[in-house]
Structure 1
């Protein structure tokens, strides 16, 4: 029996190309990626909302013939939780250093309504940019690798950080939470809280972005999940 399709959903500020090194470690699998509208390479006044992200994820899943495992990184867990609720084809969600929010919660609300120091906020233009990504996202890469990865980031819509979930797929779909023990993006209490919500926790000795620093190890975990979900 074939393995389920793997859908990779990136986080805020990112582009779908961030998964390339990981995909190279997954030969023979049906791997799909998506570009979320909230960080698409478009003028900032055209960046999408969290709900548009969720609809894009849902639409893609519904186009796939057969079972699906979704891996969501960071903010990507928010539109995934919203978008794949009650979609029977989704067999498992892997929250990779991700935000596991509940109904009524938002990214900004999860932080008590305060902007984190690594957000460069442009209120008038309604977008944010990432500051200090080398240390927050990529602290287990070489200086040159971290600089390259940070240079590939783009703006993120501010509205996507404010919009609350209306559904939370992880309540009904089997899920795994992956904690990067050296993640400088999610404080320890926050990621442990998210892990406790999901219940099934795996740990990697990595930063926020193991798809860059440990693509082989990350791929092995995802392949194991696919095997268990078929």
Structure 2
């Protein structure tokens, strides 16, 4: 009988310990890059988050269509058994708004110089809603795909000034050479029901963004009733590259919210 009581006590202790760990476990951070970039654009942010004890996954965004890209990220989210803080940059904001819709484990959305469209809006419409975006003239001639679609790139010679003015010329040159294209159709695809209507959101962006006008970011953040908004002075569209520290801190702020 004594052995049975001891065994039960040990089992109870293990269960309590396991539950305590689950309650205190940090959420997984899933990072979704935008157009004209790849997952490596999150490198600086990843280093900070991992140092602070977070599990991080930088998703490979296909950049083909809002619904298709959202489905790809949604499948990734479904494979994660912990709570998730879902983070999007640029066009990736549209993708996370789509991807989080049917995933109960997403506890927070963080928009990093990112689009947060309302249902029926397109990224192209939002970029032109307020003055300030100079992206159009910097795009290279579209690459015509086999299915008749078009891939868009930023001209390498204009990439630094347009996309990443606050990083070194050498770093911007590498980013320009390794940029991933987005389809014209994706930028003009109407968004579905946005997840930010039911999941709390946080916003951070630079006041020198030439892709998404800061005024547009402010509009989207207010519309989404963001829990917190930070404007990084002097930061370009790639605030995640040039200012990884405040971006990581905003993500951690979202992660810590109960």
Aligned to 1:106: 122
Paired with 2:54 and 2:102, the residues of 1 have a C-alpha distance of 25
Are 2:92 and 1:76 equivalent residues in the alignment?
yes
Shift of 1:127: 1.1
Shift of 1:121: 4.4
Given that 2:27 and 2:82 are in contact with CA atoms closer than 8 Å, whether structure 1 keeps it comes out as yes
SS of aligned partner of 1:56: helix
Given that 1:121 and 1:127 are in contact with CA atoms closer than 8 Å, whether structure 2 keeps it comes out as no
Paired with 2:128 and 2:44, the residues of 1 have a C-alpha distance of 35
What TM-score does the superposition give when structure 2 sets the normalisation length? Answer: 0.79
Give aligned pairs, total. Answer: 220
What TM-score does the superposition give when structure 1 sets the normalisation length? Answer: 0.88
SS of aligned partner of 2:196: helix
Aligned to 1:45: none
Paired with 2:143 and 2:177, the residues of 1 have a C-alpha distance of 23
1:148 corresponds, among 148, 168, 174, to 174
Paired with 1:181 and 1:112, the residues of 2 have a C-alpha distance of 17
Shift of 1:87: 2.2
Ranges in structure 2 where 5+ consecutive residues have no aligned partner: 1-23, 130-134
Paired with 2:43 and 2:143, the residues of 1 have a C-alpha distance of 33
Paired with 1:96 and 1:158, the residues of 2 have a C-alpha distance of 22
Aligned to 1:8: 31
Paired with 2:193 and 2:68, the residues of 1 have a C-alpha distance of 14
Ranges in structure 1 where 5+ consecutive residues have no aligned partner: 39-47
Are 2:220 and 1:204 equivalent residues in the alignment?
no
Where is the helix percentage greater, Structure 1 or Structure 2? 2
The within-5 A match list for 1:4-83 is: 4-26=27-49, 27=51, 28-38=53-63, 48-83=64-99
Shift of 1:118: 2.7
Shift of 1:146: 2.0
Paired with 2:74 and 2:141, the residues of 1 have a C-alpha distance of 29
Given that 1:122 and 1:128 are in contact with CA atoms closer than 8 Å, whether structure 2 keeps it comes out as yes
Given that 2:112 and 2:247 are in contact with CA atoms closer than 8 Å, whether structure 1 keeps it comes out as no
Shift of 1:34: 0.9
Given that 1:177 and 1:194 are in contact with CA atoms closer than 8 Å, whether structure 2 keeps it comes out as no
SS of aligned partner of 2:257: helix
Is 62-71 or 151-160 further displaced after alignment?
151-160
Aligned to 2:142: 122
Paired with 1:89 and 1:198, the residues of 2 have a C-alpha distance of 20
Shift of 1:111: 4.4
Given that 2:123 and 2:188 are in contact with CA atoms closer than 8 Å, whether structure 1 keeps it comes out as yes
Paired with 1:117 and 1:85, the residues of 2 have a C-alpha distance of 34
SS of aligned partner of 1:25: helix
Post-superposition Cα deviations, 1:138-161, rounded to whole Å, max 9, x if no partner, equal: 111122222222222122222211
